[in-house]
Amino acid sequence: METASSFQLVASKTLHKTELKLTLGRETQTAEYGKIDPDTGLQFDLGPGRIRYMAVTLRRRFSYGALQATFEQADARDLDTGQITPEAPRLIADLSWTYQKLPYHLQAKGEFEYVGRKVVGNGCDESRPNALTSYCVGVPNKEFRLALARPFFEGRINVGVNMTIASGYTGQTTENFATDYLPGYRGPLPVPQNPIAEVVGVRIPSYASLNLTYRFGR
């Protein structure tokens, strides 16, 4: 049976309509998968692990909108070896804002999110393919989201445009490829030698959409 223990230390302060919040936390578990969502983490047990994290949130409310900035940094380690846990949490920064009093009764919401590089496996150093420290590191993800909306007929009808401009990859992990084959082999399938790991993933698309909302009743 796997067990886990965790604790958090939270401090917050509000000054002149601005809220500042700091969270420090630590979690240890006897079975470490590194998985915190469907796109992050391994499927097999890596043994006992530890996650330490810090989160800072700054929130400011205005008469017609709001601004919020968050910064999160986590470190996950194997307790037996001290090595970084592959595909575990890493740096995430987010800046979002809303404003509801633009010209022509437009309402706007924007967000920028940065997800830092993460270790996704080992064996990416061709000179030392079996070294635990030859980490495979993914690429950072960047997403800019913008939404514009215009209500009509006292809010009964709402027309909006949504847009996302993205760069990076989702589902980043490693795959093993062979660098050479056995010389003189004549079998039906080649026998790979000296496999090397490479980082793979699915590109995050950019898109734009138009939506129309109608509210029934009063």
Taking the domains of the chain in order of start, what are their residue ranges?
1-89, 121-218
State residue 189's pLDDT score. 53
In this predicted structure, the answer to whether residue 196 has a pLDDT above a threshold of 80 is no
Where residue 76 falls among pLDDT bands split at 50, 70, 90? Answer: confident
And the tokens for 32?
């470490």
Which amino acid, 141? N
Q: Which residue has the tokens 């950019």?
A: 206
The dihedral over CA atoms of 169, 134, 43, 75, expressed in degrees to the nearest 10, equals: -80
In this predicted structure, the answer to whether residue 120 has a pLDDT above a threshold of 70 is yes
Where residue 67 falls among pLDDT bands split at 50, 70, 90? Answer: very high
In this predicted structure, the answer to whether residue 191 has a pLDDT above a threshold of 60 is no
State residue 11's pLDDT score. 96
Q: What is the mean pLDDT of residues 171-193?
A: 63
Report if pTM > 0.85.
no
User: Is 90 exposed, middle or buried, given 0-12, 13-18 or 19+ CB atoms closer than 10 A?
Assistant: buried
CB 56 within 8 A of CB 94: no
